[in-house]
Amino acid sequence: MRRDIVKAVLRRTPCGNLMANAVELRNITKYFPSSNVLANNDVTLSITEGEVHALVGENGAGKTTLMNIFYGLHRPDSGEILVNGQPVEIHHPDDAIKLGIGMVHQHFKLVPSFTIAENIMLGIEPNQYGMLKKKDEAEMVRQLANDFGLPVDPYARIRDLPVGMQQRVEILKALQREAKILILDEPTAVLTPQEVKELLAVVRNLAQRGRTIIFITHKLVEVKDVADRLSVMRDGKMIGTRTVAETSIPDMARMMVGRSVLLELDKKPATPGEVVFAADNITVTDASGLPAVRHISFSVREGEILGIAGVSGNGQTELVEAISGMRPVEGGTILFQGKDITRRTVGERRKQGMAHIPEDRIKIGLNLETNLDENLVVNRYKLPEFNRLGFMILSAMKRFAAFAVKQFSIAAAQPGEMIATLSGGNMQKVVLARELSGEPKFVIANQPTRGLDVGSIEFVHRSLVDVRDRQAAVLLISVELDEILSLSDRVLVMYRGTVAGEVDPTTVTKEEIGLLMGGSSLPGTATSAGSVQAVPKPQKEVVA
Amino acid sequence: MEGDLFTVALLSSGLRLATPIILAALGGAFCARAGVLNLALEGKMLLGAFVAIVATFYLGNTFAGIFVAMLLGGLLGYLFAFFYLRYQVNLIILALAINLLIGELTVYVMRVLFGNVGSWSDPSIQRLPDFEIPLLSSIPILGDILSGYNFIVYFSWVACIVGYIVLFHSKFGRHIRAVGENKQAAETLGINVRRVQVSAMVIAGMLCALGGAFLSVGHLSLFTRNMSNGLGWVAVTANIFGFQHPLGVLLTGYFFGLAEAFAVRIQNVTDLPPNLIQLLPQFATLAALILVALREKANLALIRRRFRRQLARGEMQSAAGD
> Helices B8-33 and B231-241: crossing angle, nearest 10°?
70
pLDDT in tens, B192-232: 999 999 999 999 999 999 999 999 999 888 999 999 888 99
Listed in sequence order, the DSSP H helices in A228-314 are 249-257
Share of chain A above pLDDT 90, in %: 43
Single out the residue of B303, B298, B305, B321 nearest to residue A540, CA to CA.
B303
Chain A partners within 8 Å of B33 (Cβ): none
B305 touches chain A (CB under 8 A): no
Q: How confident is the prediction along chain B (322 residues), in pLDDT tens digits per residue?
A: 444 546 788 888 899 999 999 999 999 999 999 999 999 999 999 999 999 999 999 999 999 999 999 999 999 999 999 999 999 899 999 999 999 999 999 999 999 998 877 888 888 888 888 888 888 888 878 888 888 889 999 999 999 999 999 999 999 999 999 999 999 899 888 889 999 999 999 999 999 999 999 999 998 889 999 998 889 999 999 998 898 999 999 999 999 999 888 888 888 777 788 788 878 878 888 888 888 888 878 877 777 777 667 666 654 443 333 3
Q: What is the largest CA-CA distance in chain B?
A: 79
Q: Taking residues A446-472, report their average pLDDT.
A: 87
B137, B143 Cβ separation under 8 angstroms: yes
Single out the residue of A195, A223, A228 nearest to residue A211, CA to CA.
A228
Distance, CA of A64 to CA of A186 (rounded, Å) = 9
Chain A partners within 8 Å of B171 (Cβ): 125, 127, 130-132
Nearest Cα of chain A lies from the Cα of B319 at a distance, in angstroms, of: 7
pLDDT in tens, A196-234: 888 999 999 999 988 999 999 877 888 988 999 999 998
Rg (CA), chain A: 25
Angstrom distances, CA of residue B311 to CA of A537, B119, B318: 19, 66, 11
Single out the residue of A450, A441, A505 nearest to residue A477, CA to CA.
A450
Classified as helix, coil or strand, B6 is coil
B190 vs A94: CB contact, 8 Å cut-off?
yes
Q: Say which residue, A423 or B62, is predicted with more confidence.
A: B62
pLDDT (0 to 100) of residue A435: 93
Q: Which residues of A touch B (CB under 8 A)?
A: 71, 73, 92-94, 97, 103, 105, 109-114, 118-119, 122-125, 127, 130-132, 173, 283, 285, 288-291, 294-295, 330-331, 496-498, 538, 541-544
Single out the residue of A322, A389, A369 nearest to residue A349, CA to CA.
A322
Using pLDDT thresholds of 50, 70 and 90, give the confidence band for residue A6.
very low
pLDDT (0 to 100) of residue A291: 82
Chain B partners within 8 Å of A119 (Cβ): 185
Q: Taking residues A374-398, report their average pLDDT.
A: 89
Lowest-confidence range among A38-47, A118-127, A340-349, B306-315?
B306-315
Classified as helix, coil or strand, B163 is helix
pLDDT (0 to 100) of residue A51: 93
At residue A103, does pLDDT exceed 70?
Answer: yes
Nearest CA in chain B to A500: B321
Distance, CA of A480 to CA of A278 (rounded, Å) = 24
Q: Taking the model in full, what pTM does it have?
A: 0.73
- Degrees (nearest 5) of the Cα angle A140, A142, A144? 70
Distance, CA of A239 to CA of B19 (rounded, Å) = 67
What one-character DSSP code corresponds to residue A244? G
B118 by Cβ neighbours in 10 Å (0-12 / 13-18 / 19+) ranks as: exposed
Single out the residue of A322, A313, A331, A438 nearest to residue A380, CA to CA.
A438
A83, A101 Cβ separation under 8 angstroms: yes
pLDDT (0 to 100) of residue B75: 96
Nearest CA in chain A to B315: A544
pLDDT (0 to 100) of residue B314: 56
Listed in sequence order, the DSSP H helices in A265-379 are 316-324, 346-351, 372-377
Angstrom distances, CA of residue B196 to CA of A396, B35, B44, B169: 56, 10, 20, 16
Distance, CA of B16 to CA of A307 (rounded, Å) = 66
A131 vs B171: CB contact, 8 Å cut-off?
yes
Nearest Cα of chain B lies from the Cα of A177 at a distance, in angstroms, of: 9
Q: Count interface pairs A-B at CB distance under 8 A.
A: 107
| Predicted complex: ipTM over 0.85 | no
Using pLDDT thresholds of 50, 70 and 90, give the confidence band for residue A13.
very low
Amino acid at B166: V
pLDDT (0 to 100) of residue A16: 42
3-state class percentages of chain B: helix first, strand second, coil last, to nearest 5? 80, 0, 20
Lowest-confidence range among A316-325, A327-336, A421-430, A432-441?
A421-430
Q: CA quadruple A68, A69, A75, A78: dihedral positive or negative?
A: positive
Nearest Cα of chain A lies from the Cα of B121 at a distance, in angstroms, of: 43
Amino acid at A285: T
Query: Strand A212-217 vs strand A52-56: parallel, antiparallel, or unpaired?
Result: parallel
Using pLDDT thresholds of 50, 70 and 90, give the confidence band for residue A483.
confident
Q: Taking residues A249-266, report their average pLDDT.
A: 72
Q: Taking residues A491-518, report their average pLDDT.
A: 86
Q: For the CA atoms of A203, A205, A209, A213, what is the dihedral angle to 10 degrees?
A: 10
